[in-house]
Structure 1
């Protein structure tokens, strides 16, 4: 019998999606589910983006340019300028989601067995991208007890070897909601320059910042133009996860020329989705003001309700829309599956993301879950009550 590749064997299942079959069975058994497991916002997509597609009179749905349409990249450059990120259209390559941007980047700047240092816990698919490209992840471990603050620069520096090619952060963070300060970013930038590394920032949650704080991009730091790469996406910003449009931004010409070759190999990003994404850039600020206000209230509601449960730890998110929770259980994978298979309150249960998959360090985070507060406040209160009742009777 033919065998699959080692790479295929080692490719991890998504901790966010692997419980779907159990959720489907729960639905078949008549249960209702509060989905806390995935960052799919329930916020309405801006009308201006939807209308751009619905009212378009395209006769031939043709390829776009491999780097993305010129008009979209021009508008993206203007968007970044408003955030004090000074780039031109040639510094932007449009991709099929931020995921493709990271895959292209890993393939462009690292060879198999090279190393990327990532603040941990991190977005689970970073492991998948590293596996697909043969790159080794080296974790810089963060801790729930200090709200997943960025490790010290000295801690990062100890991890650098001759194989290290890049440092990757997500700011604000998925799954932690951690927000890194201007000082944090500048220190990492200095480290990248000192050791001649790439500094890569996944900034897809740039708009989702709370408590009066502000986001500081790596591309606001002067003097690191050859080192800095931004990964971005429309998925969360405009509640357009299904568009699958992201981008890679860098002023390093060699990186961009190399990434473009990978982009050419997959031909082009989707045309209609670019049309929607370009139109979304005209979304008024009032949309974001309302969205951020709503998410801040949801965060406050969720954290307040969670803190009423005895025996758990809760990290306070400063950005994005995720919350990490440490439970009095040994294995959150088993607990999450048990919730779907064997537990309900008046016919309702919850689906959460076990956090072990957000760590590359073995046996870390096994008693943690990630909650995405993408539901309304009433639903979040009901969901936390289900969690509380479940913990009363669950046995490891």
Structure 2
């Protein structure tokens, strides 16, 4: 029914694969629990069955079909034979329970006569025959999950995938959901359920497949949630994520990317220290040197104007330097700063031009009697 043939999936180059060298098969009519720590590859496995993601290497077969040979326009037809149940229900909030189930039939063009027969059957199967007119927010969490299961099963799929279907439910409600999934399985549907629900796995004693670091490390026919096997993470026998820690040391959770792209061994945010031990605010002086350069340039203009060197300026052994030397040094320093782009000069030039223009206008007013022109304009307006 579902077969993975040496399948590896890597989302980004250089990262550890989400699943690696996966060889496993789920036969028709099986009920399988996928267990493992978060990030072990369970959801990626399900997404490949739905053809939401494609493997980097290897082949996935669903119902005897090689998914790599199915064109994108045929994917919707493939998914009609696969039901999917999510942890967060994903019901349409503006539609009633009846309409949510009806919607799954309408999108594939089911005749109205068939819809009117199937939807009440589904509501009765999940125990909600008297709540078909209620909106999702008027139902409890367990009832919403029952509607989601009814919607996933209404097309009688041969495969039902359930990703943490009891994760948001209390133990008593979760038990009812599991009984419903078991009933669907007894009708011939293959059920693959990813879960962290220890009680559910231990109670049903079905096939258990455990994944660690993208690999299958345990496959028991009538298994329980925990195992004495030394390769199990969820049993506490193997530290979480330790399977590939030595092979990929950069996967260490303590090593994160700082705000400016630099590794941050301390794992702190933008205000924390970076890998080189220098806080962001301590790196600012490199940029503020441009601001200091503005002061240096104005000092250089003063040097050129009156020949007096500023305090701390370099001197010759006699304590004085020629004006030409000082001016050439200032010009050279200015050119270097302009080439480096350390100092924005537009604002300074704009201010100088504005001051010069205002001074010129003031001189023109004095020379040509600006007040007289103003009086003539006033008389014309009157």
TM-score bracket relative to the smaller structure: under 0.3
TM-score (norm 2): 0.26
TM-score (norm 1): 0.25
